[in-house]
Amino acid sequence: MSLLDVRNLRVTFDTETGPVQAVRGVSFSLGHERLGIVGESGSGKTMTGRAVLRLIRPPGRIEAEAMTFDGQDILNASERDMRALRGKRIGMVMQDPKYSLNPVMSVGRQLTEGLRLRDGLGRADATAKAIAALEAVQIRDPARVMDAYPHELSGGMGQRVMIAMMLIPEPDLLIADEPTSALDVTVQAEVLSILDALVRDRGMGLIFISHDLRLVARFCDRVLVMYKGLVVEELAASNLLAAQHPYTRGLLNCLPRIGGQRGPLPGLDRTGSWASEGAE
């Protein structure tokens, strides 16, 4: 049985000028593997991830044929049941950590609070676990970071704190939205190897949202390519760089090449039949 099943998911925003369809019928299933989601800005990657956690705020709304996590119906689950899953069995590393960390609470308190309240750990044990989690994401002075407030952290540090916070409860599913975009390459490699080990050793499922097609091709098992709220192509990550679909090829052609020609970036060709598929 798969860990996550999503059938015909739609996310619609009712705006003053009419409904905006951010996700227009996305289906996928996820096992204990690394699933990448790529696509240009605005293609619906984040909304797909948030919808799985039912974190779409009004005027946005979610519709689907089915959405199940580990056999549990998460489409119709109560808000209370969803709260029990979020941050515990399903974690999400948000695209912008600034909005996910509490600005008026020290990092240490944010990291230990769940351990103390939810798992009933004492202060010393919770602190030791939080420090270990910070060390695991390559933070070298964890004691200082524990005392810091989110605004005192750099972007890359904030991203690592978020990842540490999501990994502490040992989730079964992690949705990571551009989790390493603010990290330099060596730290990025460390963070990816932590995620990789969790998938391999603990059987965690990972949804890895990224703009970086080369990274996804190397790191993930399978990839969904999204365009305008639809999945236009699903393929093995190892085939991503050789994809034949015109939209995916367009994304690949936009990648800068080391030592390549420095011409203007080609525009995406949106003239194929896929470009109007399902459009209103």
Ligand X SMILES: Nc1ncnc2c1ncn2[C@@H]1O[C@H](COP(=O)(O)OP(=O)(O)OP(=O)(O)O)[C@@H](O)[C@H]1O
Which residues are near Mg ion by CB under 5 A? Answer: 46
10 Å Cβ neighbour count for 19? 12
With CB under 5 to 8 Å by kind, the binding choice for 39 among ligand X, Mg ion, none is ligand X
With CB under 5 to 8 Å by kind, the binding choice for 15 among ligand X, Mg ion, none is ligand X
Where do the H-state alpha helices sit in the chain? Answer: 45-52, 79-85, 107-117, 123-136, 142-147, 155-167, 185-202, 213-219, 246-253
| CA atoms lying within 13 Å on the CB side of residue 183 | 24
Residue 45 engages ligand X in binding (rule: CB under 6 A): yes
**Least Å from the CB of residue 7 to ligand X:** 19
Residue 100 engages ligand X in binding (rule: CB under 6 A): no
Strands 205-209 and 34-39, sheet pairing:
parallel
| Nearest residue (CB) to ligand X, 43 versus 68 | 43
Task: Report the alpha-carbon distance of residue 138 to residue 175 in Å, rounded.
Answer: 20
With CB under 5 to 8 Å by kind, the binding choice for 94 among ligand X, Mg ion, none is none
Handedness of CA 103, 208, 133, 83 (dihedral sign): positive
| Nearest residue (CB) to ligand X, 8 versus 138 | 8
Residue 20 engages ligand X in binding (rule: CB under 6 A): yes
Helix (H, G, I), strand (E, B) or coil at 272: coil
| Nearest residue (CB) to Mg ion, 46 versus 68 | 46
Select the span of 35-43, 66-74, 129-137, 198-206 touching ligand X (CB under 6 A).
Answer: 35-43
Residue 10 engages ligand X in binding (rule: CB under 6 A): no
Candidate list 19, 42, 272, 278; residue touching ligand X; CB under 6 A = 42
Select the span of 2-10, 43-51, 67-75, 268-276 touching ligand X (CB under 6 A).
Answer: 43-51
Task: Report the alpha-carbon distance of residue 138 to residue 50 in Å, rounded.
Answer: 27
Cα three-residue angle 181-139-37, rounded to 5 degrees: 25
With CB under 5 to 8 Å by kind, the binding choice for 248 among ligand X, Mg ion, none is none
**Least Å from the CB of residue 188 to ligand X:** 18
Task: Report the alpha-carbon distance of residue 132 to residue 130 in Å, rounded.
Answer: 5
**Least Å from the CB of residue 131 to ligand X:** 32
Residue 43 engages ligand X in binding (rule: CB under 6 A): yes
Q: Which residues of 126-144 are buried (b: 16+ CB within 10 A; e: fewer)?
A: bbebbbebbebbbbeebee
Helix (H, G, I), strand (E, B) or coil at 179: coil
| CA atoms lying within 13 Å on the CB side of residue 275 | 9
Residue 279 engages ligand X in binding (rule: CB under 6 A): no
Residue 92 engages ligand X in binding (rule: CB under 6 A): no
Task: Report the alpha-carbon distance of residue 122 to residue 124 in Å, rounded.
Answer: 6
Give me the 104-133 binding string for ligand X, x by CB under 6 A, dash otherwise. Answer: ------------------------------
Residue 93 engages ligand X in binding (rule: CB under 6 A): no
Select the span of 34-42, 115-123, 145-153, 231-239 touching ligand X (CB under 6 A).
Answer: 34-42
Would you say 237 and 223 are in contact if contact means Cβ atoms under 8 Å apart?
Answer: yes
Residue 15 engages ligand X in binding (rule: CB under 6 A): yes
State the residues that interact with ligand X by CB under 6 A: 13, 15, 20, 22, 39, 41-47, 60, 95
